[in-house]
A and B are shown apart, each in its own frame.
Chain A
Amino acid sequence: MTPNLVYVIVIGVLFGAGVSLLLERTLTRVLIGVILLGNGVNVLILMGGMPGTPPIVGETAQDRMSDSLPQAMILTAIVITLGITAFLLALAYRSWQLLGHDEVQDDAEDRRIMDLAERDEGPHAKEHDSDDPPTPVDDVAPGRAGR
């Protein structure tokens, strides 16, 4: 099969823009990145099959039909992307509702461990002295004051 350059370029642009947005911290942008990436992957799969006439028996000759298998896979992917989009949107809204923004935060527990590493302490540093549970390190996110 000879590659179709329009597809190649569309795939490259969709992937590139999708990944750039995916690396952002705003959930809405991440979500748009996911959608673009999804479209890019769909075109990639589509490109794997021969183009042709609609794969409907009786309408056209079989040897001129487009490849139907990638199409079925893409159909599944499109609808799943819809589900993921809805979920991420709800996530973004929830984040905004609770924190006042829809930014992806750094993980507080990871930061606590990084602090321990900087202080050259073990994970049980506090536990040897008292039975108190380790006190959580407060997140420095100013956005939390939103509500």
Chain B
Amino acid sequence: MYAVALVPAATFAWALTHTGTIRSGAAVTETYPWVPQLGQELAFRMTAFPWVMVLLVSGVGALVLAYSAHYFAADEWGLGRFAAVFLAFAGAMFGLVVADDLLLLYVFWELTTVFSYLLIGHDPTRRASRWAAMQALMVTTFGGLAMLVGFIMLGQHADSYRLSTVVDHLPGGAYLVVALVLILLGALSKSALFPFSFWLPAAMAAPTPVSAYLHAAAMVKAGVFLIGVLTPVFASDSPWQQIIWVCGALAFLFGGWTALRQTDLKLMLAYGTVSQLGMIGIVLAGGTRTAALAGAALLAAHALFKATLFLVVGIVDKSTGTRQIHSLSGLGARRPALAAVAVLAVASMIGLPPTFGFVAKEAMLEAFWEGDAWYRVMLVCLIAGSALTVAYGLRFLWGAFARKPGLDDSPAERVGLGFLSPAALLALAGLAAGLTAGLAAGPDGILSVYAGRYPGTGHIYHLALWHGLTPALAMSAAVFAAGLLIYLATNRTEAWKSVRMPLTAKEVYRRAIGGVDRLAVELTGGTQRGSLPFYLGVILIALVALGGGLLIAGGPWPLEARLFDTPLQLAAGGAIVAAVVSAALARRRLTAMILAGVSGYGVAALFVLHGAPDLALTQFLVETVTMVMFVLVLRRLPARFSERPLKKVRRFRVAIGIAVGVVAAGMAYVAVGARQDEPVSTLFPDLAVSYGGGENIVNVILVDIRAWDTMGEIAVLLVAATGVASLIFGRDRALLRRGGSRPAPPKTGEHVRWLARPEPEGSRQAIILQVVTRLLFHTIVLFSIYLLFTGHNDPGGGFAGGLVAGLALAVRYLAGGRAELNAAAPVDAGRLLGTGLLISVGTGAAAMLLGGEVLQSAVLDFHLPLIGHVHFVTSVFFDIGVYLIVIGLVLDILRSLGAELDRHHESGDEPESGTGTMPVPEKEAA
């Protein structure tokens, strides 16, 4: 913790080195490019007011971290995370106060929100702390987003988000009013001013060091800081000052009143903070030189004394185990040093000389002494609120340290020096600032630079302990006397406690959140029916409505059409239509599958007639592999489909199907009719030969011209194969069995003893088929390799070759079961897939490494003795990768859907109902 504290301490020292620059009124600026395309920069600018904030943020941060080293046990859970988040928060806060760009400011603003969420929710096991963290997050993010809109309104108008530029290009009228109100929403919510006060007391669920830092010195100051920065610009613009004053006054008075009613010391401080922030907001929005001076001084004084008090409460809590004033007694006598620190801080809070709080309060009263009716009203509020501050300040001291009648002295552990000294240092800083207030090198000199942005009005006010017998001094005395009376009156009787705050924004928040939740449930429940056919139906109906509507409206419908190119197309088309319609109507799985296959072969015939031999070849092979797959799986599934749904639902589905079919046919008709440009592929024949080194244009497109597509495709194949294997091999270690190196015990005996012994009784092996496939197998594989290599010039290629080899394996499996499959391909399918992908990617990468484009191919022509002229294109390697992946896919399918399903069947690892009849199907929900 101490080590972590060095970071803010170093920041503090860095800020001190700039004292001279700041005092002279200059600014420390740094700018880095961020998103140059958008004109975004990381622009930082530190002038007097940010400088004070930097000192507070870094100084208090360092001290609180040092304090945390004692507050938490060394082995406490989540301490490392706490330190990291705390430091990150300090960094974000630092960025916030020095940012010179509105968007950058917003980013830091939200960062503090996020980190404060993590800090408040430090103990995620407690519901209260989760709730408080979420509430703080919601409220401040809501404000932050509103503020962002305001910033954007200003920034777009000024065409720059630089704070220093924006203020020179302000819009006017209602536009400005809206922007200001939005920005104020951010400031008010962050500083917990009315009506957003409620999140701050709830946030006391946080560990005390967090409260001391976030809720006294740093985060809640962001709101009033923003007010302080923007008031010099906006003070004269109508709603700015009035909104802050009304909200600030309400926070000041109600916060003070509520603080007085608390019995928990920490909550008392929390409401006190709400109250004090209201006051600081009022004063910073004052819009005169003296008010600015007073506001900045109040802000600094508050950070010092309130952080001290939180730290003191933490010590009291840790050493006695309670924060309840009715349980604490006699602590002052037993822990005089602690009490002295607290007294010093409270003195500053209630404005007793010679503390800095007194100096600041004097300036405040002076600033509001003169002015119009608004100032008079505010002066009354300030006096009344300050009297309440005096009352709860005294009550705090009494509650924490006084000896109470009827209570034994609280047992208190010893307080170490390291634990107390951060609080003591902060309290002494408040005293020192008060003593040196009037000096040019002290607070007055620095803060005057900030206040100097206002035109001076003849007499220039300076911070000082003694101004002579002024009205302000008289008011200070009156405030103190009134506060004392309130304290005495309220401490005597309990009856006043029934007076409650009339407005509970908390309830509003709770209802708003609850309402949003309810709305979400209703909306989700209303639209997310959870039924796949329902979703698909919606999408398809939209397709029909939009696509069909456009077709009808747009056209243009070609008037000419030809029935066919060759009469054979008519035959193929007729076969397809017949097969498809029967497939859709089929009630048996196998029938439907075979009819779908027939339609696939019909499409292959169309490919042939169209002049696409590669397509036809691949389509035939794929249809065949698909058939094999279906047979493998369907032998396990029930023969018939489950019962058809209700007639009405079925009709609806068919209606959608017909509608989509009509729209698709219409699209095809119109799209083809609208085509008139020269196709790009007219260039391909020449390109294929000169660059691709091949004559089969389709293959050259696949491995060269559009090789990236193929790369994506083989990746998909790999994923699909992996998915199949994981679905079938399931959760157990069966995946290990997938490897050919560990085959399940072959049923037909050892490889070498093939056919050497009689088949067991009831064997389903077909001996003749086995023998024939063994004879043909190598020929088929050889043919597949031929297809692979010839593909560049003639129909074929990696896909077709791989499919042929895969079919060879399939035949082996069908003939002899998994033992035959393992004998034919004693290799893991995953390894084949991986090798294939590696080769393909390697080809592409090698081309890049050799200085070409990725996947660029080179043509090599050379002469080999005996063989003769060799025409070699490097994209063959790419095709080999494709070949291996396709084999791997088929092998994986055979191992999963074939061999592993056999094993399931043999081990009885199947549903009992699976042998024939289907279980009762679920009632249709759609």
Query: B residues within 8 A CB of A53?
Result: 611
Set of chain B residues within 8 Å of A110, measured between Cβ atoms: 524, 528-530
Flag B749-787 by CB within 8 Å of A: 1 or 0 each. Answer: 000000000000000000000000000000000000000
Residues of B within 8 A of A85 (CB): 626, 629
Q: Which of B561, B596, B599, B913 contacts A146 (CB 8 A)?
A: B913
Contact A65/B913 with A93-B636, A122-B521 known, Cβ cut-off 8 Å: no
Q: Is B607 engaged at the interface, CB distance under 8 Å to the other chain? A: yes
Tell me the complex Cα distance, A99–B520, Å: 32
- Taking a contact as CB atoms under 8 Å apart, the answer to whether B611 and A79 are in contact is no
Decide if B599 touches A39 in the complex (CB within 8 Å): yes
A11: chain B residues within 8 A (beta carbon): 661, 664-665, 668
| Contact-residue size bin, chain B (C-beta under 8 Å from the other chain) | 35 or more
| Closest Cβ neighbor of A83 among chain B residues | B720
Q: Which of A3, A40, A73 contacts B669 (CB 8 A)?
A: A3
Please tell me if the beta carbons of A32 and B610 are within 8 angstroms of each other in the complex: no
Output the least CB separation between A139 and chain B (Å): 9
Let me know if B531 is at the binding interface, CB within 8 A: yes
Contact yes or no, B664 A48, CB < 8 A: no
**Residues of the A chain whose Cβ atoms lie less than 8 Å from the Cβ of B667:** 44
B611–A102 touching, CB < 8 Å? no
The answer to whether B353 has its CB under 8 Å from any CB of chain A is no
Contact of B662 among A16, A40, A99, A116 (CB under 8 A): A16
Residues 579-614 of B, flagged 1 when their CB comes within 8 A of A and 0 if not, give 011011000010011001001100100110111111
Q: Nearest residue in A to B540 (C-beta to C-beta)?
A: A19
Q: Which of B609, B629, B660, B921 contacts A86 (CB 8 A)?
A: B629
Let me know if B606 and A46 touch, CB within 8 A.
yes
A-chain residues with CB within 8 Å of residue B599 when the two chains form the complex: 14, 36, 39
Query: Considering the chains assembled together, what is the distance between the CA atoms of A57 and B699 in angstroms?
Result: 12
The residue on A at minimum CB distance from B709 is A76
Residues on the A chain within 8 Å of B612, using CB: 46, 54-55, 66, 71, 74
Contact of A101 among B629, B710, B730, B919 (CB under 8 A): B919
Interface-located stretch among B366-374, B382-390, B570-578: B570-578
Smallest CB separation, A92 vs chain B (Å): 7
Q: Are A93 and B799 in contact (CB under 8 A)?
A: no
* Contact residue among A58, A93, A99 (Cβ-Cβ distance under 8 Å from B637): A93
With CB as the reference atom, state the residue of chain B lying closest to A66: B611
**In the complex, what distance in Å separates the CA atom of A75 from the CA atom of B638?**
33
Name the interface residues of B903-921: CB closer than 8 Å to any CB of A: 904, 909-914, 918-921
Asked whether A145 lies within 8 Å of B919 as measured between CB atoms, the reply is yes
Q: Known contacts A79-B713, A113-B525, A117-B524: does B661 contact A1 (CB below 8 Å)?
A: no
Residue of A nearest to B660 (CB): A19
Which of B227-235, B400-408, B889-897 contacts the other chain? B889-897
* A94 with B626: CB separation less than 8 A: no
Please determine whether B717 and A79 come into contact, CB atoms closer than 8 angstroms: yes
Complex Cα spacing A77 to B384, Å: 79
Q: Which listed segment binds A: B158-166, B414-422, B466-474, B670-678? A: B670-678
Say yes or no: is B721 at the interface (Cβ < 8 Å to chain A): yes
| In contact, B589 and A28 (Cβ under 8 angstroms) | yes
Nearest chain B CB to A91 CB, angstrom units: 6
CA distance A104 to B530 in the complex (A): 10
Q: Are B569 and A122 in contact (CB under 8 A)?
A: no
Judge whether B904 and A106 touch: CB under 8 Å: no
Cβ-based interface call for A123 (8 A): yes
Contact A72 B702 (CB under 8 A): yes
B713 — nearest CB in chain A belongs to which residue? A76
Interface residues of A in 27-64 (CB under 8 A from B): 28-29, 32, 35-36, 39-40, 42-44, 46-59, 62
Is B826 in contact with chain A by the CB < 8 A criterion? no
- A107 in contact with B584 given A25-B924, A79-B717 (CB within 8 Å): no
Tell me the smallest distance from the CB of A32 to a CB of chain B, in Å.
Answer: 5
**Is B681 touching A54 in the complex (CB atoms < 8 A)?**
no
Which residues of the other chain, B, contact A15 by a CB distance below 8 angstroms?
657, 660-661, 663-665
> Do B695 and A114 touch across chains, with their CB atoms under 8 A apart?
no
| Measured CA separation A22–B793 after assembly (Å) | 39
Q: In the complex, what residue of chain A is closest to B728 when comparing beta carbons?
A: A90
Choose among B633, B663, B713 the residue that contacts A80 (Cβ–Cβ < 8 A): B713
Asked whether, in the complex, the Cβ of B668 is within 8 Å of the Cβ of A44, the reply is: yes
Given A20-B653, A123-B517, check contact A14 B576 (CB 8 Å): yes
Interface size class of A (residues with CB under 8 A): 35 or more
B518 touches A94 (CB 8 A): no
Contacting A at CB under 8 A, from B692-723, are 695-698, 701-702, 705-706, 709-710, 713, 716-717, 719-721, 723
Task: Give bound CA distance, A79 to B589, whole Å.
Answer: 23
CA gap between A32 and B589 in the complex, in Å: 10
Measured in the bound complex, the distance between the Cα atoms of B529 and A107 in whole Å is 8
Q: A86-B893, A97-B904 are in contact. Are A12 and B662 (CB under 8 A)?
A: yes
- Looking at the assembled complex, report how far the CB atom of B612 sits from the nearest CB atom of chain A, in whole angstroms: 5
**Contact among B581, B637, B671, B922 with A105 in the assembled complex (CB-CB below 8 Å):** B922
In the assembled complex, B564 has its CB within 8 A of some CB on chain A: yes
Q: Is the CB of B561 within 8 A of A86?
A: no
Give the complex CA separation of A22 and B918 in angstroms. Answer: 20
A114 to B637, Cβ gap below 8 A? no
- Asked whether, in the complex, the Cβ of B576 is within 8 Å of the Cβ of A51, the reply is no
Known A-B contacts A28-B641, A57-B695, A62-B685; the reply to A51 vs B565 at CB < 8 A is: yes
Query: How far is it, in angstroms, between the C-alpha of A102 and the C-alpha of B916 when the chains are bound?
Result: 14
Is there an interface contact between B611 and A26, defined as CB atoms closer than 8 Å? no
Are A7 and B720 in contact, CB atoms less than 8 angstroms apart? Answer: no
Chain A hits for B580, CB < 8 A: 13-14, 17, 36
CB-based contact B668/A3 at 8 Å: yes
- B630 within 8 A of partner (CB): yes
The answer to whether A9 and B573 have CB atoms under 8 Å apart is yes
A residues in contact with B676, CB < 8 Å: 1
Which residues from chain A contact B633 at a C-beta distance below 8 Å?
Answer: 89-90, 92-93
Q: Is the CB of B565 within 8 A of A111?
A: no
Q: Is B856 an interface residue (CB 8 A)?
A: no
Are B668 and A117 interface neighbours, CB within 8 A? no
Alpha-carbon distance between A114 and B622 when the two chains are bound, in angstroms? 43
Contacting B615 at CB < 8 Å: which of A7, A21, A51, A78?
A78
User: In the assembled complex, which residues on chain B have CB atoms less than 8 Å from the CB atom of A111?
Assistant: 530
Query: Chain A residues near B625 (CB, 8 Å)?
Result: 82
Q: Are A23 and B533 in contact (CB under 8 A)?
A: yes
Highest count of chain B CB atoms <10 Å: which of A4, A7, A85, A90: A90
A144 to chain B minimum Cβ distance, whole angstroms, is 9
B172 at interface, CB cutoff 8 A: no
Min CB distance A40 to B, Å, is: 7
Q: A72-B698, A76-B713 are in contact. Are A89 and B614 (CB under 8 A)?
A: no
- Smallest CB-CB A-B distances: 4 pairs: A16-B661, A110-B530, A117-B525, A20-B657
8 A-B pairs in the complex with CB atoms less than 8 angstroms apart: A17-B581, A28-B593, A29-B592, A56-B793, A83-B716, A90-B633, A99-B911, A103-B642
Knowing that A28-B637, A83-B717 touch, tell me 15 more A-B residue pairs with CB under 8 angstroms. Answer: A1-B672, A1-B675, A4-B565, A5-B564, A9-B577, A17-B657, A19-B540, A40-B664, A67-B679, A71-B612, A74-B607, A82-B622, A85-B629, A103-B922, A122-B514
